[in-house]
Amino acid sequence: MKRVFAALAVVVVVASVLTGVLIWRLAQNPPPNHPEISAYSHGQLVRVGPYRYCEVLNPTDCETPRTDGELTVDPRHPVQLSVPPAIARAPWVLVRTYEGADVVDEFRPDTKLAVTIPTVDPDRGRLFGLAVQLPTLVRDEAGNEFPVPHAEWSVRTVWPQPAP
């Protein structure tokens, strides 16, 4: 009986120590205040917090950390964009900026967590960057309603320089 209590005491002590270490580690690296997006291409991953993040019901009350990501790309490997459920639960917009023109895709809530983005579009050229936006409908003085992004995440693409 004493062995059972001794073993149980050891398990309790080890579990307590491990819980303490876990809490200490989480306190050292607190989770971000706002959701982050991820972009991956050819072995490189970048996680990006918002460039701008405003209150949904008051789009003039904003935090502007001006965070943006940078991802090296080439013509052979597409960009894999991932958004967390906190973004995907709402309608969200993907803006892809190419040399020739922008491409805007709108996604309904709970339909997409990931998108594959070609780095070269046959009609628009090379990809310069992308942005994820969360729109809010606002009304102007004349009563017109239109969407305005209340949050935006941005990733800039970098193309390797050709060898001289």
Question: How far apart are the C-alpha atoms of 89 and 32, rounded to whole Å?
Answer: 18
For residues 19 and 78, membership in a common domain is answered with no
Question: How many Cα neighbours within 13 Å face the side chain of 16?
Answer: 6
Question: How far apart are the C-alpha atoms of 113 and 121, rounded to whole Å?
Answer: 22
pLDDT per residue over 54-99, tens digit each? Answer: 988 877 888 888 888 999 999 999 999 999 999 999 999 999 999 9
The pLDDT value given to residue 84: 96
For residues 95 and 135, membership in a common domain is answered with yes
For residues 2 and 46, membership in a common domain is answered with no
pLDDT per residue over 13-30, tens digit each? Answer: 766 766 766 666 656 655
Q: How many domains does one find in the chain?
A: 2
For residues 56 and 25, membership in a common domain is answered with no
Are 49 and 152 a contacting pair, CB within 8 Å? no
Q: Report yes or no on 52 lying in a domain.
A: yes
Q: Exposure of 37 by Cβ count < 10 A (0-12 exposed, 13-18 middle, 19+ buried)?
A: buried
Q: Which domain holds residue 119?
A: 37-158
For residues 26 and 41, membership in a common domain is answered with no
Q: Report yes or no on 163 lying in a domain.
A: no
C-beta neighbour count of 9 within 10 angstroms: 10
Mean pLDDT (the chain, rounded): 87
The pLDDT value given to residue 116: 97
pLDDT per residue over 39-53, tens digit each? Answer: 999 999 999 999 999
